[in-house]
Amino acid sequence: MNSSFLDYILRIKLPIVLFVAVASFALTYFISRPERDGIGYAPDQPITFSHKLHSGDMKIDCKYCHIGVEKSRHAMVPQVSTCMNCHSIARKDRPEIIKLTEYYNEGKALPWKRIHRVADFAYFNHSVHVNRGIDCTVCHGDVGRMDKVLQVNSFTMGACLDCHRSPHTNIPNVTEINNGPTNCFACHR
């Protein structure tokens, strides 16, 4: 191999390849940022639904809409038909409710933007946590006071493990609770 070719590889080609690799890694990292750390993430939603109004003021139970929390992995966001139980009558002349009714009549799902999310390669299950008496507020903050849902905690591995190692300090109101698992296969299946 002639030395000026080697020189070209080392001085020009390699730095460019490294630069592109680092830059594209950094770019994907920051683009996926809101869903990784997520604290403060509060996207605009297609309908301005207020938790403060529905669950704070009107005291509708979280489980009326999030039907999965006690029995499945996912809490689940309600279908338009759940809203229409009331809004086929309540406030049906208001612009946001007219929009809501159009989705319902066209049989379309509302494209709610997802706020909280753990990485695909990690396993989380609502029912296990909720059925141990861990309140929604421990992980999601006081949603009943939010006009617009805002992520208040991060769900990094460190944050999960922090509670699993000492649930008592993280969940003040529950007196009898086991530690959560810390073995890798509990969360990476």
Residues 9 to 48: which contact ligand HEC by CB under 6 A? 36, 45, 47-48
Among 39, 76, 81, 166, binds ligand HEC (CB under 6 A): 76
CB of 66 to ligand HEC, least distance (A): 4
Locate tokens 């979280």: which residue? 62
Site string for ligand HEC, 155-184 (x = CB under 6 A): xxx--xx-xx--x--xx-----xx-xxx-x
> How far is 30 from 128, CA to CA, in rounded Å?
32
Locate tokens 């000492």: which residue? 166
Is there binding between residue 118 and ligand HEC (CB under 6 A)?
yes
Nearest CA among 142, 149, 137 for reference residue 49: 149
Is there binding between residue 71 and ligand HEC (CB under 6 A)?
no
Among 14, 27, 90, 98, binds ligand HEC (CB under 6 A): 90
> How far is 99 from 110, CA to CA, in rounded Å?
10
Q: Which stretch binds ligand HEC (CB under 6 A): 5-13, 16-24, 101-109, 111-119?
A: 111-119
CB of 35 to ligand HEC, least distance (A): 8
Output the six-digit token pair for 107: 């049989």
Is there binding between residue 101 and ligand HEC (CB under 6 A)?
no
CA distances to 6, 20, 21, 118 from 16, rounded to whole Å, are 15, 6, 9, 34
